[in-house]
Every structure is written in structure tokens, then in C-alpha cells.
Structure 1
Amino acid sequence: MNFVDFIQKGGLAIWPLLFLSILSIGTIFERLWFWSTVLRGERKTTDRILDAARRDWDEATHLARQATAQPMGRFLYTPLRLANKEPEIFRLALEASADEELNAMRRGHKVLEAVIAIAPLLGLLGTVLGLIRSLSAIRLGDIGTSSLTNVPIGIGEALISTAAGLIVAIVSLAFYRLFQGLLFHQARIFRRTGNELELTYRQFWLQSQNIARAAAQPSNFESPKNLPGY
């Protein structure tokens, strides 16, 4: 059976299934390209920004700004670009940035979810319509005669739409689970990187506050001219 025969024997339901398969394949290839660009060089970018943050926050901000084409760069640049940031504001900026990036990474998931849910139902619908068409021509007087020879063939053709719907749904589900796993992995990376950056910043903040308090304290040393007898 070639592709043309498959389409012709699939019935009316094969056309929406064909559309769903094209939609699913396009989404899958787009997501595969997206994740390949995300994972490429992400670890190197993260290490460079975190190492710079331990030495110079201006340098870390500059490196994060240069990496804003990547989700990790945008994630780290959001809190680093704030001016006069307290630790709590720094943490809230990290959380907001992580939520925004993770939501953007879910793009295409709704399409795959819809294909997974609709494709089997369309396949069953095509099968039911095919069975109705095949069995509607059967009469009681034809039972046991050669008139029913083509009925099994019609039933077999009616099951084509069910097979097509299941294939589309299974392939879409496999890649959907793959993308979900990559998303959860990315969320763990964001959490670990954000915690490390926040800890580094809190240490820097405490040191700067201690230096500021020490500079603001008045000196207890009195010059000799203020002592009695001078």
C-alpha cells in the first residue's frame, strides 16, 4: 500500500490526522532545534558568569548581558542589572526571571498535548464511519453468501484511520515526554545556578555592609590637644 492508497482507504478522518501529523512534526523539529541551541555552551556560560561574580560584579553583569541570546544569560542578567539591589530583591528577580524563561521553554507543549488527545479520537471516528459504511450494505438475506466477501476488506480499511491516529499520538507523546524531561532538567539547573549566585551575592552584601558600618563609626581616639593638661 503506497501513500495515495493509504489516504484513499483511510476515509474522511485521515485528512485531519494528516494535518495533525504535519503540525506535530513541525513542532517537534522546532523544539529539537531550540533545545540543541539551549544546551550548547550553557555550562561554559554559567561558569564564566559565576566565576566573574566572585571577583567583580560589573564584569559578571557585562558577561551576562553578552549572553542574553541564551536563556541562562537572560536568567542571570535580570538580577545583575538591578541598581542598589538588596538580597531579597535580588532573590525575587531571580525567581521572576526563572519563571519567565521556563514558561517560554514550554512553547509548543500545548500543541503536542492537543495532538496526543485528538489524534486517537479522530482515528476511532474514522473507524466507526468506515464500519458504518461497510456494514450498512449487509442484509440478512446475504448472510452466508458471496455478497459478504468484501466486508472484511472494508472493515480492514476502516481500521486504517485508527492505526494512523495511534501512530501520530504515540510519536507525539514520546517527544512530549522528552521535552518535559529537558524542561525539568533545565529547572534544576536554574535552581542550582540561582542559589549559587544568590549565596555569592549575600556574602558580598554582608561584607559591603560591614565595611560601611565600620566607616561610619566615629573614632575613639582623642588627639593630645583635647586631653587634660594640654
Structure 2
Amino acid sequence: MTLLLQVADTAARLLDTTTQAATQVSQIPDQELRFGDLLIKGGWIMLPIGLLLVLALVIFFERYFTIRKAAKNESHLIKQVRDSIESGNLQSAIAICRNSNSPLGRMLQKGLLRIGRPIKDIEGAIENVGKLEVAKLEKNISIIGIVAGIAPMFGFLGTIAGVIKIFYDISKTDNISMGVISGGLYVKMVTSAAGLLVGIIAYVCHNILNMMVDKMILKLETDAIEFIDLLEEPSK
């Protein structure tokens, strides 16, 4: 009988201990770290890094859609210009190029306005307009390249700021516990990661736009050569 009482008492104590532990666990505040809180822990250095990201994305999308619009298929333009020239209607060909409102149209228009001069002069005029059109397409792309270079530097600056904060907190509290140095570690790691991430994004965007421009240049050169061949045909 005594043994049964002891077993019952032990079981009651275990149940009471388990209940208390469950209650304590339920009272522990939620320590889950959210993404927004993590960014805030990076400190003031996250502001310029964020602004660099916004700048790079705004320029990227603006240039992306501009280049795509300029790179639309202009095969019908070449055909219409060819038909007008073969029919002897030069003014119609010029009007077609003017109304196209495209880099190729402006190049061909300049060439058509030079008809009657030596082919070398026509080629030179088309080439000069082509350079101006390419410069327009490349507008502000270099800024994305600058962002790709300096964003990691801001991250490194945040790393230095985090280390300074760690030593400052230690000197202030005379304590090297994890709780004291964690603030500086947050600044150090978050800013480094953010700077590298923004740099990678900007680098990828910069190269995508450069590839699109290079493809556009090749297309313009091909169409320009076809146009010059068209002008030389009657003289053959």
C-alpha cells in the first residue's frame, strides 16, 4: 500500500513538473526574426544600399523596354523602302522612314537624303546617325555598372561600422557576452549581404542591357549594309 502511494505521489510530481514546463514554454515570446526586422538591424547603411537597388532597377526596366521597342522587327521597312526606290518615288521612301520613328528609320532617312552623292558619303552619314542612335540606347546603362561596383563597397562600409559598434559596446559595458556583441554582428553581416546582393543584381542587369544593345547594333549594321547594296544595284 505504501509502495502504491509512493508511485502515485511520484506520478503526481512528474505531472506537475510537466505542466509547469509547458506553461513556461507557452509564455516564451516569439523570437522569430522577420525580414523587415533584419533589414532594420542593418542600421543606417541600409538606406543608401536600398536607394542604389531602386536606382538600378528603375534604369534597368526603363532601358529594357526602350531597347525592346527599338529592336522591333523592321524587315517591312526595308521592303517598303526598296519598293519606293525601285519605283523611283524617293519622297515616299523618305516619308516611310520618317513615320517609322525608329533608329533604323532615322538612319535610312539620312541615307536617302544623301542620294546623289558618292556612296562613301552616304555610308558616312548613316554611320554617324547610327552612332547617335546607339548612344541614345546606351543612355544611363553605365550608371547600373557604377551601382554594381559601389554597392558591395557600402556593404564593406557597414562591416566596418559593425566592428566599431562591437568594440564600442564592449568598452561601454566591459562585457564580451554574445548579447553585447550581437548588435554589431547584425550590422556587419546584414550590410555585407545586402551590398553583395545589390551588386550582383546590378551586375546582371548591366550585362543583360549590354547584350541587348550589342544585338541591336548588329541588326542595324546588317540593315545598313542591305540598304547600301540597294543603292548600288542600279549602278551595276
TM over 0.5: yes
Match of 1:223 in 2: none
Higher radius of gyration, 1 or 2 = 2
Q: Does 1:195 align with 2:225?
A: yes
Structure 1 residues 153 and 174, CA, compared in 2 at 3 Å: closer, same or farther?
Answer: same
Match of 2:18 in 1: none
Please show how residues 23-172 of structure 1 align to structure 2 within 5 Å.
23-56=55-88, 58=90, 59-67=92-100, 69-82=101-114, 84-138=116-170, 142=175, 147-152=177-182, 154-172=184-202
Match of 1:173 in 2: 203
CA positional deviation for 1:127: 1.4
Give the CA RMSD over aligned residues.
2.3
* Whole-angstrom distance in 2 between the partners of 1:170 and 1:45: 39
Any gaps of 5 or more consecutive residues in structure 2?
1-32
Structure 1 residues 75 and 6, CA, compared in 2 at 3 Å: closer, same or farther?
Answer: farther
Match of 1:184 among 214, 219, 226: 214
Aligned-partner residue type, residue 231 of structure 2: Y
CA-to-partner distance for each residue in 1:163-214, whole Å, 9 max, x for gaps? Answer: 111111111111111111111111111111111111221233x26xxxxxxx
CA positional deviation for 1:34: 0.6
Aligned-partner residue type, residue 56 of structure 1: G
Aligned-partner residue type, residue 214 of structure 2: F
Q: How many residues align?
A: 202
* Whole-angstrom distance in 1 between the partners of 2:152 and 2:224: 42
SS in 1 for 2:170: coil
Of the structure 1 ranges 130-139 and 27-36, higher mean CA displacement relative to structure 2 is found in 130-139
CA contact (8 A) 1:27 1:108 kept: yes
* Whole-angstrom distance in 2 between the partners of 1:2 and 1:48: 60
The percentage of counterpart residues that share the same residue type is: 22
Match of 1:217 in 2: none
SS in 2 for 1:138: helix
CA contact (8 A) 1:102 1:187 kept: yes
Of the structure 1 ranges 77-86 and 118-127, higher mean CA displacement relative to structure 2 is found in 77-86
CA contact (8 A) 2:144 2:202 kept: yes
CA-to-partner distance for each residue in 1:52-102, whole Å, 9 max, x for gaps? Answer: 4444351322211211x2111112111112353221111111111111111
* Whole-angstrom distance in 2 between the partners of 1:2 and 1:51: 65
Any gaps of 5 or more consecutive residues in structure 1?
208-230
CA positional deviation for 1:47: 3.6
* Whole-angstrom distance in 1 between the partners of 2:185 and 2:146: 28
Aligned-partner residue type, residue 66 of structure 1: N
SS in 2 for 1:192: helix
